[in-house]
Amino acid sequence: MNGDAGEVRIERIRAVRTAPEGIRLVIVKVETSTPGLYGLGCATFTQRPLAVCSAIEDYLDPLLRGADAQQIEDCWHVARLSSYWRDGPVLNNALGGVDMALWDLKGKIAGLPLYQLLGGKLRASARVYVHAHGRDASEVTDSARALLEAGFSAIRCQVGVAGAGTYGVGAAGTATQQVAFDPDRYARVVPALFAHLRDELGWDVDLLHDTHERLAPPAAVRLARELEPFGLYFLEDVVAPEDHGWLEHLRRHAAVPLAIGELATRGEDLAALAVGRLVDYLRPHLSDLGGITPARKLAALAEAFGVRMAWHGPGDASPVAHAANLHLDLALSNFGIQEWTPLTDASREVFPGAPTIDAGALVANEQPGLGIDLDERAAARHPYPEDNLNGSWRPVRLADGSVIRP
């Protein structure tokens, strides 16, 4: 939609539930007083989707009905402050989904891709990293080689630990997921994995690893130091948010690049890491942070301190979220790299216009707004799974039976 659309008011805000990959997605649809004009956002919090849907439809919809859809800043602050107790993943994902949808609307009203409203393109595409996994180093290497042959040049590598649970090994490791996590064995296996990968794959591929906040801080410091010789692109979530006070100590003892942020619900917390130059990459989940509005501000602050952005892009980020990530990637000077999870045909049917890959990088389709649509009939053919396994994170336990962070 081009030119002057006249007054555009929010008429209704809906949560659309769908699961084309078997993962519970929450899509926000902001309908307006202009017939046929709507915006889409992602509010997915896979482990608590129904709570987010309630926040959207029972609270944000009546709150924002009648508001000027183009006054994004005002809508964001009204919505965030309306609950008195603010932030947290449920409220922020609901708010973040609405915020994305309003930016999508803004682009459609202007007749421009969203990146144009953020200052225009700084790059033609956004380089991505993808995930390799396996039960042992040999399987991880085979997985990584297949991704290299597919045109990717940055690969996150996760390995199983024989006889123990671990993170990120995918289908090959589901049988071990209920086995106790062994932090000491994990910390020994990971450096050996990357020694093997460098021997087999060489140095022309960027390798990454996600610790997923599972190590105690002293063990995390030792692991970071032992991974130094293998030249990681970055080490992700080496400590939990509660342990960010250890990052200054870690910086003094290990030179491996660090990426932190997917668990953050407050941009202020990540801003402090950037100001302190305690990390090299910030990687928040857009909707968990509250949407595009706070994300672009955080990125601008991070740029001043030489910290780059690497937005969270896992399998439970919908194609709408991936599209929002991409538009920020194209417009930010301090873009680093984008996590990417390949989409199936089912997802592309539900979400026409989803971002595409060319030579290991994401490419925008140049349509107005986020450039993506939602086929609600197709979405209805993929209802939420009836079981609860994709709705809750299975408990991770130590050998003594105690539950630890996932």
Tell me, what CATH number does 172's domain have? 3.20.20.120
Domains of the chain: total: 1
Q: What is the pLDDT of residues 263-290, one digit of tens each?
A: 999 999 999 999 999 999 999 999 999 9
Q: Does 78 map to a domain?
A: no
Q: Does 109 map to a domain?
A: no
Give me the catalytic one of 38, 167, 186, 233: 167
Inter-residue contact 38 to 70 (CB < 8 Å): no
* Three-state secondary structure readout of 137-179: HHHHHHHHHHHHHCCCCEEEEEECECCEECCCCHHHHHHHCCC
Q: Does 106 map to a domain?
A: no
Question: What is the pTM for the complete model shown?
Answer: 0.95
Give me the catalytic one of 131, 196, 212, 312: 212
Q: What mean pLDDT value characterizes the chain?
A: 94
Q: Does 341 map to a domain?
A: yes
pLDDT of res. 170: 58
Q: pLDDT band at 163, cuts 50/70/90?
A: confident
Q: Is 394 exposed, middle or buried (0-12, 13-18, 19+ CB in 10 A)?
A: exposed
Average pLDDT over residues 329-335: 98
167 is annotated as an active-site residue: yes
Q: Does 135 map to a domain?
A: yes
Q: What is the pLDDT of residues 8-54, one digit of tens each?
A: 999 999 999 999 999 999 999 999 999 999 999 999 999 999 999 99
Query: pLDDT at residue 171 above 60?
Result: no
Determine the residue type at 54. Answer: S
212 is annotated as an active-site residue: yes
Average pLDDT over residues 122-136: 97
Q: Does 269 map to a domain?
A: yes
Q: Does 34 map to a domain?
A: no
Q: Does 334 map to a domain?
A: yes
Domain assignment of residue 179, given as a range: 117-370
pLDDT of res. 178: 62
3-state secondary structure of 386: coil
Query: pLDDT at residue 174 above 50?
Result: no
